[in-house]
Structure 1
């Protein structure tokens, strides 16, 4: 009995071992099989998501492309996918939730969801299904029209009804357009008119040369998935329509800039959406536009319109299923405080010189002009600027892309009004304070070495008004030294502390490199607007508004209806006394701003010339400045700059603009 029992136990153990081995082999085989199926599913969906439909059909069973209402070849499957997804502007296809499940021997079921962007917005499609079968020792997808979109059959089509959301306008204070959607002419290729072989190459070469577009770019455009023989394949926007075989033209909506170069540096321009743009802003469409520079870029999110429409599955004229429905919306209109007429006038007065003109309403901070020169034509960029034209701009030493109204400069003698106001505030001077100065050069003591402060007019005695009328550097240097660096800094800080809330890229105003005035020469130079002092023309206008506003500095604004703050920086009496002195800068026949005089009007002004010499008593570059303001009704305050010029040239250039304010 014992032996029989042991024999039975051994037999059972052998059976268990054999069964376990068989089960393990079966399980291992199933795992290998499932892994192979998953690899095919991943390869198919990866090619599908890339819209590489030629690669995709390699994983399809070519002998199972026939159904009740369709009979396809592999090439027709590719063409069907291209037509369906090209028609809706599909991009950024992303397959999600991919699974494979065994249904029966030699057959699995693949399921997945799809997220994609279309011409009218994002679309989520759920429950794609397809069988994967073993065909001649290879796993292959059984393709049906439901792999285009679920529920599609062989006779269904996908239709797009598209409504374009318009980009918002940028307008001036009176509603005049500064950036608006208009119409341009688009040149495009018709593939079946280009011919084949050598003829095609010749025609493409002629197109490349005519429109200054790389031949490789043209060929790449023709190879896009959506392109058919009769498609209109865009080349670029053009102003003329030369006759070329294979080329036709159509009117298209395009951004236009009525003010052209006069406002280009402020408004900027739009351009085609790039791959980098899509990565940052997935809601954009690959065939859309985006603000590239200026206010077009800053306010792009508000300006962008949203396209609308419907994407449907249709059978003949009947809608079988609606895949996506989206209401279009137009972008917001951005209304500026700018006055387009004054802006264009200011630009013309610069006459191609290197400079800027900023005009502000000092009563509320509204910026009326922000003109810079030289400039560029933004309409060229929208139309598709040639490489040659772009290089001409880029290599221009005058830097037409530079917004000089936001660039920082040493303000020169215009800053003396601020020094005067601070000195009056803290009692360093009174309006009657008179200084006796001999000669055109001065230094405090021998510790200054060879350095001396210089002036233009040799006036033996001067009070504050006379010092401003004569623009005497020595008078103000002595005032700052008497005041002391700490008292001067205490007076300057309220001007420099506020942050300007403008949609512009601009570095903060600077007193000095380290924010201190810890050397006597630096203190003296700062008093008359040099040293390491740096202000943009916009910042200068902001600072100088305090003199016109009874000591209240008015911060600027560029957006209509947007209030800007005021801040008390000087005592009212001090500001008024400086203002009266600035009126004399124009009214006095000996004043540096006398050439600005207009009969019947009181103008407060201060000229300035900032020298950029590396060494005293040598010839060097200089920048000319002018601050001019309405001393009667306070309706305008202008700060103008001309590089490589003196203040006399600035007065000559801007007087017609000042006259237009009356």
Structure 2
């Protein structure tokens, strides 16, 4: 009986102790799995994800009694996103637990619009028995110096972007003012719809676009709602100000004074996008930064860009600065001075403004590029001030391709290539300038193996079929024979030595020139056609201008450059590609192309100037019998008696068939050459 009683007692004790042990184990495991520092980490992870509502759910009831969910979300969102906080990290230094309360000392680091910020902080947590920790929240959780009735302010000092200047300090791109056109909805008056229609008509935008802006959820009657940015001084401003509800503010903007004339050269800037922001992480860009998108604005971005000055500070309840949290000094961008002459740029663009084409002006004594023109152009100011969908669509669908950069590309050169064949032939002794090739008729083929293919020329001429006459009259047959005489291997090697197939050493990226798609002359027909600039020859206009500098520099090809250098010293890209004697022989013949009244370039003759030149008409067609193809017209003109200020101009115009071929282009180059005194 006694033994049985003892068993009951043991069972009773077990019934009490075992659940207690189990409870203690469960509580131990719960406490271990619910550390206060884990709660803080979870809170910070939500902050990085901008999940402000979930953050509010983690604070204790006492804190919730002091701040509503709406105010909590608004305060955290405005502060953290206002300072552009990201990559927020914490490092726990110490955890102190007393009963149901815990205190954590930790270090916070984050990236802000003013740079990397780190500071020490402390947070308190509590919990009811058996429940998870909750954060005892107040404004000091954000910044330890921040009171509940205080604000975090961001003061930005706008940096100036460097100017792009021509050689005479004339701005091609500069920071200036624009007109920010907006609407005060509550002042549109009784004829609201009529006013909106009038605004849309003047600005060239849709009524739907304006209404979409005015119907945003945040819009209030007394707010300024920006609609479109236009140029400062635009005459439309005066018409707009006559409409009720319109307000026009000054706004900082990037300005391009030459508009379409230098669009492809300067390019333009726009607000940075998310992809660019991520790519340039750590380079001090912010969401409000602008960045070069195309042209020199993009190429010289690192030099031109300014870094805004920023101060993040705490403002007390009286509106006074209490504490500076972090600041970054403003850093203005540097100017970029170019070799470009804005007058030459404008002149050459105006000569091509009704065409599709490209022009390059260069000083052949130095390699300085004086103009880079692609026509038609576009107005880069439109991209800065806001391009409507209709305008963007029209630019992309325009058959003249105004967004296509023609001086950057490479195309068939036609007969402007013949001097290259000539100088290679003379230098390699494969062409005797004085030998008469006895060419007759308007067509020729090497032999019957060419089948129905013939090399043709425009007209026969009296006199010997020698190098001089072949250049003066631009004889395709002569240069087809010359290429065959030079041979595939020598021609290929010499063209490679001229920089074909290579990256052109120029600040502005250009397409490589080529003499064959695979770098080989595959057939005699291809080789013969290449001799007069057809076949598979594709030449970049800047490269072509550089090659022609060999006629001014004893057989050396100069490096083209666009960033101004005070010394103006030339730099050789390809040294001694041909002999001085070879280049001089061809140069004298090119002078006759212009000077001789029978020369194809005689239209460019200017009394008092010694001009070397060469015309070229490149046929773009599917076959020799194709009559629907188009033609590119070229002319290269270069003064040779005005060192060190000689001028070399390359101009190409598309679709010159039935418009005079290359003769359509010659007067355009002459206009530029006439500026040399």
Post-superposition shift, 1:402?
A: 1.0
Post-superposition shift, 1:271?
A: 0.7
Look up the match of 1:468.
Answer: 471
Normalized against structure 1, the TM-score is what?
A: 0.88
How far apart in 2 are the matches of 1:76 and 1:618? 75
Post-superposition shift, 1:310?
A: 2.6
Contact preservation (8 Å) 2:479, 2:532:
yes
Look up the match of 1:28.
Answer: 29
Look up the match of 2:141.
Answer: 147
Structure 1 SS opposite 2:172: strand
Matches within 5 A, 1:606-617: 606-617=614-625
How far apart in 2 are the matches of 1:126 and 1:372? 54
Look up the match of 1:547.
Answer: 551
Go from structure 1 to structure 2 and tell me whether the alpha carbon gap of 1:451 and 1:505 turns closer, same or farther (over 3 Å shift). same
How far apart in 1 are the matches of 2:639 and 2:370? 14
Go from structure 1 to structure 2 and tell me whether the alpha carbon gap of 1:228 and 1:79 turns closer, same or farther (over 3 Å shift). farther
Structure 2 SS opposite 1:356: strand
How far apart in 1 are the matches of 2:364 and 2:396? 36
Post-superposition shift, 1:474?
A: 0.5
Contact preservation (8 Å) 1:167, 1:331:
yes
Matches within 5 A, 1:251-650: 251-282=250-281, 283-315=284-316, 316=318, 319-459=321-461, 461-496=464-499, 499-561=503-565, 564-566=571-573, 567-619=575-627, 620-634=629-643, 635-645=646-656, 646-650=661-665
Go from structure 1 to structure 2 and tell me whether the alpha carbon gap of 1:55 and 1:630 turns closer, same or farther (over 3 Å shift). same
Post-superposition shift, 1:122?
A: 1.7
Contact preservation (8 Å) 1:62, 1:74:
no
Post-superposition shift, 1:221?
A: 7.2
How far apart in 2 are the matches of 1:232 and 1:286? 22
Post-superposition shift, 1:104?
A: 3.0
Go from structure 1 to structure 2 and tell me whether the alpha carbon gap of 1:246 and 1:85 turns closer, same or farther (over 3 Å shift). farther
Contact preservation (8 Å) 1:442, 1:453:
yes
Residue segments in structure 1 that go unaligned for 5+ positions in a row? none
Look up the match of 1:130.
Answer: 123
Go from structure 1 to structure 2 and tell me whether the alpha carbon gap of 1:51 and 1:251 turns closer, same or farther (over 3 Å shift). farther
Query: Which of 84, 87, 90 is matched with 1:91 structurally?
Result: 84
Matches within 5 A, 1:69-80: 72-80=67-75
Go from structure 1 to structure 2 and tell me whether the alpha carbon gap of 1:280 and 1:192 turns closer, same or farther (over 3 Å shift). farther
Matches within 5 A, 1:96-115: 96-97=89-90, 101=95, 103-109=97-103, 111=106, 113-115=108-110
Contact preservation (8 Å) 2:185, 2:214:
no
Contact preservation (8 Å) 2:210, 2:227:
no
Residue segments in structure 2 that go unaligned for 5+ positions in a row? none
Go from structure 1 to structure 2 and tell me whether the alpha carbon gap of 1:54 and 1:525 turns closer, same or farther (over 3 Å shift). same
Post-superposition shift, 1:511?
A: 1.4
Contact preservation (8 Å) 2:506, 2:559:
no
Contact preservation (8 Å) 1:190, 1:230:
yes
Contact preservation (8 Å) 1:93, 1:114:
no
Post-superposition shift, 1:279?
A: 0.8
Deviates more, 1:201-210 or 1:129-138: 201-210
How far apart in 1 are the matches of 2:384 and 2:62? 50
Look up the match of 1:238.
Answer: 230
Contact preservation (8 Å) 2:438, 2:465:
yes
Go from structure 1 to structure 2 and tell me whether the alpha carbon gap of 1:374 and 1:230 turns closer, same or farther (over 3 Å shift). same
Go from structure 1 to structure 2 and tell me whether the alpha carbon gap of 1:294 and 1:661 turns closer, same or farther (over 3 Å shift). same
How far apart in 2 are the matches of 1:200 and 1:54? 39
How far apart in 2 are the matches of 1:208 and 1:117? 39
Go from structure 1 to structure 2 and tell me whether the alpha carbon gap of 1:551 and 1:593 turns closer, same or farther (over 3 Å shift). same
The answer to whether the aligner puts 1:652 opposite 2:652 as a matched pair is no
Structure 2 SS opposite 1:608: strand
How far apart in 2 are the matches of 1:586 and 1:32? 92
Post-superposition shift, 1:58?
A: 3.5
Deviates more, 1:568-577 or 1:99-108: 99-108
Contact preservation (8 Å) 1:62, 1:73:
no
Deviates more, 1:241-250 or 1:649-658: 241-250
Look up the match of 2:178.
Answer: 184
Look up the match of 1:166.
Answer: 160
Contact preservation (8 Å) 2:213, 2:225:
no
Post-superposition shift, 1:85?
A: 4.6
